[in-house]
Each structure stands twice: as C-alpha cells, then as structure tokens.
Structure 1
Amino acid sequence: SLLRFFHNHGFLGLHTQHPWWTVDGGSREYVKRLVAPFADRIRLGCAVTRVIRHGGAGNAGRGGSTPRGVSVLTADGGEHAFDRVVIATHGDQALRLLVNPTREEERLLGAFQYQSNVATLHTDITVMPRAARAWASWVYQVSRDKTGRVIPATHYWMNRLQGVSEREHYFVSINLPGQIDPAKVIKTIAYEHPLFDLAAQAAQVELPGLNAAARGATETYFAGSYFRHGFHEDAFMSAVNVAELLLGRDPWAAAPAAAPVPAA
C-alpha cells in the first residue's frame, strides 16, 4: 500500500515527481460548475438515513404495497422514491445506509476501513523545519508524547501547494492540534481517511463489477474516492464511470437528438 502511494505520487525516483495543478478558487469552484444544471434540486441539511431496495419479499412499502425502485429515507422523516440511486459516500457509510445489503455489497464495501484525523488550518510556522530551505509542500513529522507514544503528523504548506497568499504562511496540519499556537488556529476540521490495506486493494478491483451487476437488480450504484487512491480525482473518475454506465455513453458527449415524431 505504501509503495503504491509513493508510485502514484512519483516519489520512487529522483525526477519523477508530478507537477501539481490547482483549481483557481479551490475545489468548491469545480463543484459549483458541476452542479449548476441541477442546483435547484439539491437538498441540503437533509441527511439520508436509510436506503431501501424494493421488489423482494419483506421489502413492502410503508403502506403495505410492494413498489419497485429504491426508497431513500431522510432524517426529517421523509421517504423519497427513485428508479435508481447513486451513493457517493465513504465505503463503510454506504454499507450502513443499505437495508438488506447483498452478500457482495457486504463483502466489498465492508473491506474499507477509515481512520479519524484532525485537520487544523493555521499560521504557526513552528510546525515547519527551522531551516527554511528544508520547507516542502508536505512535511512529515514524528514526535512523542509524555508517555513515549509515537505521534505522526503531516503539515501541508498551502502557499506552495495552492498559492493562497504572498503575505503570510498558511498550513494545514494533520493530527497535531496540541502543539499549534491556539492564537494562530483558523479552523479545525474532523476527517476520516481511508486505510488502503490489502483487503481494501483487493476489493477495489471488484467495485466496477458491483456497479455493473446493479443494473436491473438492486439499481444501487456506488462512487467515491475509495475506488482508487482516495483523492478528489479518484472520486470524480468513479462518478464519471457510473454516469457512463447509466447513460450508456460518454457523459460529456452531447445527448443524441430525439427521433422525429411522424405526422399523423
């Protein structure tokens, strides 16, 4: 897993590092453009609690009937019917949402584990090496607490990564909140990051097949960064693949024109 990570980032050679491109304004800008055609239909602040697939024994709707399709239950007590559902969450979250998951869903989605991490956006330069020449986009630090326990941390130098400022240095530190000057903390965010162990890597190979088998069956599809390396690009690619599966064509290509209706 570590070697695959290093290979993906071009860390296994002297001159193999990949050039980084940054979206002007951050990831929220490309999200805005992607959702623009249907932004008025997005429901925010309405958490999904369960996903029920219909059509089998024991899957009757709340009124006693047995509808087709998929029902999405939300935290406000709503139940919403759809022909198909795409669950774009972490793998373990997707599995928890499913009522009566299939054996394949349990086996594959259950292979992904996540680790809780705390990300702190701040301006405290003491987290970086004392020698400014040693500063890098990513700085890995290993320290010990009072009990001798090893505490690993990673610091992202946002000025170099994304050009956020020319006047002040900004950093994002993962898992080192206690050693950052509180007066220089801008925001703290709790994240969960995937652990790509051997079981997860083996499951990744079969995830596209899980989506392909959903057509005409569960009509439940999955997307997320856990399909590959855990990055934005990986989540994006998995979503494009699902769109291509559902549309039967390249999602970026123009939809074929409807056939003319013959005159009566």
Structure 2
Amino acid sequence: MLQNHSPQQIKTLKMNKPHVVIIGSGISGLSACWHLRNHARITLIEKGNYLGGHTHTHGLHVDEKVVHVDSGFIVFNDKTYPGLIDWFSTLNIASHPADMSFSVSLGNGEFEWSGSNLKTIFAQKQRIYDAAFLKMLLDILRFNRNAPKDVARYQSTKKASISLGEYLDEERYNAYFQNRYLLPMAGAIWSCSTSEIRKFPLKFLVSFCENHGLLSVLNRPQWFSVKGGSESYINAMLKVTANLPISIKKNTRALSVKKTPIGLKITTLEADQTHKNIDCDHVLLASHADESAQILKTVGHAMTSVLSRIKFQSNTAVMHMDSSLMPKLSTAWSSWNYLSHDSLDANPRIGVTYFMNKLQDLPTRKNLFVTLNPTKQIDPSKIFKSIEYSHPVMNQDREIAVRNIHRFQGENNVWVAGAWMGNGFHESGFQSGRHVAEKIIENYTR
C-alpha cells in the first residue's frame, strides 16, 4: 500500500517503468509484449507448456529426420497482413510462397471438385454434363458479383445486420450452391460448422472475402508460410528481447485480478500447484474471451458480461499420414480439403484436411496432413499426435460485444486483446495487441 511507503519510495516507484502483466502468449499477447518491450517491465503468463497459442510448430520424425510442421497458424498474405509482414521483416523471418487451393469432397468421394483450374473443377468428368453443378458455378459468379453490392446497399436499412443464411435464402441460392461451395469454403476458413456459418453477419463474411481476394479470379493475394515453421518468429522475438525486463511464466494459470491501493494483484496457480500473487500496474488479458470473462468475474469487472457473449468452439486437429482423409481423386487434392464421409443425403459431419506439403516447404517426399475434426477413423499407425484448439464463433453476438468492449478498455487498468476482436486471424491478433500496448504507453507519456 502507498501509505506504507516513504515519499521517496513512492517517487521511485512512479519513476520506474510500469509493470504490465500479459495473460496469454498467443499472437495478441506476443504483439503487446513486443510493442511494450522498451516501455514496461513485463510478466507474460501462459497456461500451456509452450508460447504461441495457435502458433504451434511440431518437430515430427519422418524419414529419420525432424520435419517442422504447423498445426495452427500456417499462412499469411502480402495484402491483408501488413503489420505481421513488417514485424517479420524486423525479425528477419524467412518465408516462401504457399499454395492456397481448395477442394470439396462429399459423400465419401461421391462428389468432388477443386477450384484450382478447369481440370480440377471437372475432376469428375461427368460434372461437365451436370446441370446442377454448372448452375453452382454460375451462382458462384453471381454471389461474387452481387453480395458486395448488396452489403453496401443494406448499410442504412434494416438489413444492415442480415445474416449470411438469411441473405442466401432471400436471394434464392439453392442448397446445392450453399452446401457444395460457399458453406464448405467458409467453414474451412473459420473452422466451424455450416449451421454456424449461416449465422455469420453477411457484412463480416463478404468484407473478409473481398479483402482476401476470394470474390475475384484476378488480383488475388500471394500467400506465404514461415520457413522452418511459424514458431521461428517466436524464437526470433525471444532472442531480440533476451536482455529486456521480460519474465515468462509457462504452465501458469491466472485465476483472478483484484484492484489494490497501488495497482492490481494477479493470483496465479503455478506449475507446482501453489498459488502466488503478482503486483502490477496494468493487466492485459490476451486470452480467449471466455477465459478472460472467467478471470474478471472474480471481481465483477464491467467487461465480464460483454466478454461472456463471445462463444468459442472446440476443434480437434490430428497430424497424420493417412491419405484416406483426402479426396478420392488425386486431381482434386488441394491445400485445404473440405471432407465428409457421410451420405450426400444426410446432415453430414464435416472435417477439413490441410495438405501440409502444399502449404509448407517441407523437406520430405512423404505426404503429411493435418485434419481438423476428422469424420472417419484415421489409421492409428499413421497418427503423430492430436491437439485440441478453441476457435471464436464469429456471429452477431460477437459483433455486438466487440462494439461495446471499447467502452470498458482500460477501466481500472484492465485491458483485453485478441484476434476474436477482428476477423479471428493472425493480423487481427497482432493489431489488437499493438493497439492496447500503445494505449498503455499513452497512460505514462501524456
């Protein structure tokens, strides 16, 4: 407490750099740490045993050598990741071009196509004479042409918050187009079910697709992946900041945040199962919104109810070498492969297989895959490991929460950041962490 310190001690405390505790070492927490590195003393708390969150690189033993394969953050592009690209340049991170092709395989291979070129579009030759398939291709062009115009036209009307599903039904896009193109593509991007995709705000989805060149054949961005795996940028950052006042605590769970007369007190559960208290000036919760809500609920912070509106869903990623989790036709094999092994007439369970040899510059001829939510059993002898991830559900509730959360940012020196505040991807997380870091610095320089 301040009253227990002499005037000189209080002056010294105020002259020192502020102590900022960052909870969560995903891209938002790492970005905040980087931008605060010369302005604060930092304690970075991570509940897991590695830094990075969805930046997750695995050393897999293949052909008697170690191959570094990513299972979370894999790719970025030269158009919509400006902050990340600048940071990678500062850290001297090497990258290489990545293929971003996409395929759909439904009904255990009964229906397959890929959008790479004419040969892959008609990977199944009978589709050349399939009227429903040809109409789907025309509907793709119609959606790409009309959806951005309709979003602009709706802005000052009651339809401004229309969902994707409502729009598709209103504009009479049939189930064939929805289930064999648009919903699979969006489901693969955001790692969620087709029913959840239909709840997405139309404006959000169309804006993302426009910015990422998904609504045009020309002017698409070039995609890249990090050489040696995405953990390379974390290792580079740790090397640059090695001599700065940054304390890293892995296997440590933040339990609560409390206000004290001289700042904030964070209670943690340490790796050895003991409880400890950390005094600080600011706390940044760069964890998932639902986890941040649980931490803040202990003190009834105003942000708790807003954060509680944001939902996350669990997804299982399996790293393996089983090609039965790819399209039946090798001509349809793509970087992203949307798969269902259920009947075409059923309400299918959906999974996505990433063909890592196409996405990363892997030093092996063996085919390596990462399948999210597999819909059939993978050959156990071909599995390397399984990992559980949690992804934000990008629905209307999230949009409302993000609009409201800024009202409470910095209240009692408590801040939140996360990719979920933007489109859910790495650039959004990077910018969110940077923005909060700059706000904290403002507090001490004005």
> After TM superposition, is the score higher than 0.5?
yes
- Alpha-carbon distance between aligned partners in 2 of 1:40 and 1:203, rounded to the nearest angstrom: 31
For residues 215-260 of structure 1, the C-alpha deviation after alignment (integer angstroms, 9 at most, x for no partner) is xx410111111111222222111111111111239xxxxxx9xxxx
The structural deviation recorded for 1:81 is: 0.5
Q: Structure 1 residue aligned with 2:292, among 94, 98, 106?
A: 94
- Alpha-carbon distance between aligned partners in 1 of 2:387 and 2:441, rounded to the nearest angstrom: 36
Task: Name the CA shift for 1:77/1:26 in 2 (closer, same or farther; >3 Å).
Answer: same
Q: Which runs of 5+ in 1 are unaligned?
A: 55-66, 250-255, 257-264
Is residue 132 from structure 1 mapped to residue 330 from structure 2 by the alignment?
yes
Equivalent in the alignment of 1:33: 236
- Alpha-carbon distance between aligned partners in 2 of 1:158 and 1:127, rounded to the nearest angstrom: 13
Equivalent in the alignment of 1:247: 441
- Alpha-carbon distance between aligned partners in 1 of 2:375 and 2:279, rounded to the nearest angstrom: 44
Equivalent in the alignment of 1:51: 257
- Alpha-carbon distance between aligned partners in 1 of 2:287 and 2:319, rounded to the nearest angstrom: 24
How do 1:13-24 residues align onto structure 2 when only pairs under 5 Å count?
Answer: 13-24=216-227
SS in 1 for 2:226: coil
Task: Name the CA shift for 1:240/1:188 in 2 (closer, same or farther; >3 Å).
Answer: same
How do 1:70-85 residues align onto structure 2 when only pairs under 5 Å count?
Answer: 70-75=264-269, 76-85=274-283
The structural deviation recorded for 1:84 is: 0.6
Q: Structure 1 residue aligned with 2:215, among 2, 8, 12?
A: 12
User: Contact conserved, 1:120 with 1:177, CA < 8 A, in 2?
Assistant: no
Q: Which amino acid aligns with 2:248?
A: I
SS in 2 for 1:100: coil
SS in 2 for 1:187: strand
Is residue 188 from structure 1 mapped to residue 386 from structure 2 by the alignment?
yes
How do 1:195-214 residues align onto structure 2 when only pairs under 5 Å count?
Answer: 195-211=393-409, 214=410
SS in 2 for 1:42: strand
- Alpha-carbon distance between aligned partners in 2 of 1:16 and 1:121, rounded to the nearest angstrom: 33
SS in 1 for 2:249: coil
Is residue 159 from structure 1 mapped to residue 362 from structure 2 by the alignment?
no
User: Contact conserved, 1:87 with 1:221, CA < 8 A, in 2?
Assistant: yes
Structure 2 length-normalised TM: 0.48
Task: Name the CA shift for 1:234/1:240 in 2 (closer, same or farther; >3 Å).
Answer: same
- Between 1 and 2, higher relative CO (CA 8 Å, sep ≥ 6) is seen in 2
Is residue 230 from structure 1 mapped to residue 430 from structure 2 by the alignment?
no
- Alpha-carbon distance between aligned partners in 2 of 1:39 and 1:18, rounded to the nearest angstrom: 38
User: Contact conserved, 2:339 with 2:352, CA < 8 A, in 1?
Assistant: yes
SS in 2 for 1:112: coil
- Alpha-carbon distance between aligned partners in 2 of 1:231 and 1:21, rounded to the nearest angstrom: 14
User: Contact conserved, 1:121 with 1:172, CA < 8 A, in 2?
Assistant: yes
Is residue 179 from structure 1 mapped to residue 382 from structure 2 by the alignment?
no
Structure 1 length-normalised TM: 0.79
The structural deviation recorded for 1:149 is: 5.4
- Alpha-carbon distance between aligned partners in 2 of 1:133 and 1:240, rounded to the nearest angstrom: 43
The structural deviation recorded for 1:40 is: 6.1
Identity %: 29
User: Contact conserved, 1:84 with 1:220, CA < 8 A, in 2?
Assistant: yes
The structural deviation recorded for 1:163 is: 1.8
Q: Which amino acid aligns with 2:320?
A: H
The structural deviation recorded for 1:73 is: 0.6
Q: Which amino acid aligns with 1:100?
A: V
Task: Name the CA shift for 1:209/1:168 in 2 (closer, same or farther; >3 Å).
Answer: farther
User: Contact conserved, 1:140 with 1:152, CA < 8 A, in 2?
Assistant: yes
Q: Structure 1 residue aligned with 2:262, among 48, 52, 68?
A: 68
User: Contact conserved, 1:95 with 1:101, CA < 8 A, in 2?
Assistant: no
User: Contact conserved, 2:317 with 2:389, CA < 8 A, in 1?
Assistant: yes
SS in 1 for 2:331: helix
The structural deviation recorded for 1:159 is: 1.1
SS in 2 for 1:144: coil
Q: May I ask how many residue pairs the two structures share in their alignment?
A: 231
For residues 31-77 of structure 1, the C-alpha deviation after alignment (integer angstroms, 9 at most, x for no partner) is 223344148621122221212223xxxxxxxxxxxx33111111121
How do 1:96-115 residues align onto structure 2 when only pairs under 5 Å count?
Answer: 96-98=294-296, 99-103=298-302, 105-115=303-313
SS in 2 for 1:205: helix
